[in-house]
Every structure is written in C-alpha cells, then in structure tokens.
Amino acid sequence: MDNLARLQQWYLQQCDEDWEHSYGIRIETLDNPGWNLEIDLADTELEARPFEHVHYGMFEEAETSGYEWIFCKVEGGKFCAAGGPLKLNEIIGVFLRWAGVAA
C-alpha cells in the first residue's frame, strides 16, 4: 500500500462522527515551491506521543538543488511538515512511520 493510501486509512480510522467535524488533514502548496502538510492530532492516540523533529536541506549551508529539504515537527496538537516540491510522499512517510501505520 502506498503512503497516500495509508494516510487515507489513518484518516478513516479517526472518523467517528465527531472528530472529522472539528479536525482533519490539510495538504497545501508553498510558493518556495513545495508542500505543507498539517494533521490534527487532538483526540487521537498520537496526541501525547513524543516526536523528534525531522529535517534536512533547509538548514544546511550546502543545499544540492534547493528542492531537497523537509522539516517535520509536532506543535500545538498538530503534525506540521513542509518539504520541497518532490517531497510530499516523503513527509507523509515520516508521519506514517511515527504513527505506526503499517505498510
């Protein structure tokens, strides 16, 4: 199963006729260019799970192409991630590994 299908599965598991009315998942483009992913963790089993920031590319002095970067963190009850224009699949994968969603 690919990362998008696994993310859809995780989302469906959260839907309980209440959660989906207040929370959800947002995927947007950035003007860098790149992607922004925001996943609400409130009222999920992940709400209090520790997460260690994942990042590369954007803070290093020698970037290879300008597009090879990701930044993922948990803050304010949300999984927040951004990445270069070809990194959406990778940042979804970071979330799925942390969430323990099986492949």
Would you say 91 and 37 are in contact if contact means Cβ atoms under 8 Å apart?
yes
pLDDT of residue 59: 55
pLDDT of residue 1: 76
Q: Tokens 């942390």 label which residue?
A: 98
pLDDT < 70: residue spans in the chain: 59-65
- Tell me which residue range forms the domain holding 17: 3-99
H, E, C per residue of the chain = CCHHHHHHHHHHHHCCCCHHHHCCEEEEEECCCEEEEEEECCCCCCCCCCCCCEEECCCCCCCCCCCCCEEEEEECCEEEEEECCCCHHHHHHHHHHHHCCCC
Structurally, the chain folds into a number of domains equal to 1
Whole-number Å distance between alpha carbons of 3 and 98? 13
For the question of whether the overall pTM of this predicted structure is more than 0.75, the answer is: yes
